Structure 1
Amino acid sequence: MSETPQKAKRPEFRNINVMDIKNYRLPPAGIVSILHRISGAALFLALPLLLCIVTAGFGTAESFAALSSCLAHPLVKIVLLGLIWATLHHACAGVRYLVMDVHVKVSKEGGRQTAFTVLAVSLTLTAVVAAKLFNLF
């Protein structure tokens, strides 16, 4: 009697429930990628605000004084700190992607290392700017 070869077990695909999302873990490179997109969108949406700040800063002395008093409020400083983080993270992740475009650190481990580097550098620079923004030094 001839034996029939065993069929390889096919992978099982199933629908993902919304409650299953908490069980999935993104790799660091995925987190950096999503944060890069979020920071880019935040910077794009904040362009009118930033344009208003620059215009008032280069305007008359009265508009500069009004801008200075507005920027002294702690909630405004927190919003500015968020935009500063977005700028720093977007720039650091952009440099990471440029380095990857020239085929440096393109492996799985290299991507993991550069992702951690981007997170560490952007958060460290944001902490330094926050210390200066809130007059800690």
Structure 2
Amino acid sequence: MPAVKSNRPVNLTMGQVLAVNLRSPVAIASILHRLSGVIVFLLIPILLWILDKSLSSADGFTYVKEHIFGHIAVRLLVWAFVAGLIYHFVAGVRHLLADAGYYEELHSGRVAAIVSLVLSAIGIVAAFIWIVVL
């Protein structure tokens, strides 16, 4: 009986999936785009509560400014939200350009993914300096 090549799908372990995907900047950009969307989605209620508290009265604003933003953990939380928003925006623009027919080929798609990663990294570092350090 001859051996027949099977075209059936193969279940890969998580290690095999990561080994394949971590070599491609396009895959990394796609995974981070999804992750940043989840981070932004999960942090919106917390930041809306802080905004509501700060806009409720002058005392509420003072409380948020002195007590809530006085903690480094809250500033890191806000930075995580802003970092997710920056990356999600930049990657979203890249996806919109791809939907419009630009940067769809293999090489140009890789270049666009690398450019979006670099631009996002610059914005995220700037946001860290602005929110956490200053």
Answer yes or no: same fold by TM over 0.5: yes
Deviation string 1:84-106 (CA, Å, 9 cap, x unpaired) is: 11000000011001111110111
The residue that corresponds to 2:49 in the other structure is 52
Partner SS for 1:58: helix
The residue that corresponds to 1:16 in the other structure is 12
Measured on the aligned residues, the alpha-carbon RMSD in Å equals 2.2
For 1:36, give the aligned amino acid: H
The residue that corresponds to 1:96 in the other structure is 94
Residue 64 and residue 117 in structure 1: after superposition, are their counterparts in 2 closer, same or farther (change >3 A)? Answer: same
Deviation at 1:15, TM superposition (A): 4.0
Deviation string 1:50-78 (CA, Å, 9 cap, x unpaired) is: 21122122221111111112112111111
The residue that corresponds to 1:107 in the other structure is 105
Q: Give TM-score, length-normalised by structure 1.
A: 0.82
Deviation at 1:11, TM superposition (A): 6.6
Q: Which runs of 4+ in 1 moved over 2 A?
A: 9-26
The residue that corresponds to 1:65 in the other structure is 62
Of the two, which has the highest radius of gyration?
A: 1
Equivalent pair of 2:83/2:127 in contact (CA under 8 Å):
no
The residue that corresponds to 2:117 in the other structure is 119
Partner SS for 1:24: helix
Partner SS for 1:16: coil
Deviation at 1:46, TM superposition (A): 1.5
Greater share of residues in helix: 2
Residue 19 and residue 105 in structure 1: after superposition, are their counterparts in 2 closer, same or farther (change >3 A)? Answer: closer
Residue 22 and residue 35 in structure 1: after superposition, are their counterparts in 2 closer, same or farther (change >3 A)? Answer: closer
The residue that corresponds to 2:84 in the other structure is 86
Structure-1 separation of matches of 2:101 and 2:42 = 32
Percentage of matched positions with identical amino acids: 26
Is 1:39 aligned with 2:36?
Answer: yes
For 1:129, give the aligned amino acid: A
Deviation at 1:120, TM superposition (A): 0.8
Task: Figure out how many residues of one structure are paired with residues of the other and give that number.
Answer: 128
Residue 114 and residue 22 in structure 1: after superposition, are their counterparts in 2 closer, same or farther (change >3 A)? Answer: closer
Structure 2: tracts of 5 or more residues without a match: none
Deviation at 1:111, TM superposition (A): 1.0
Q: Give TM-score, length-normalised by structure 2.
A: 0.83
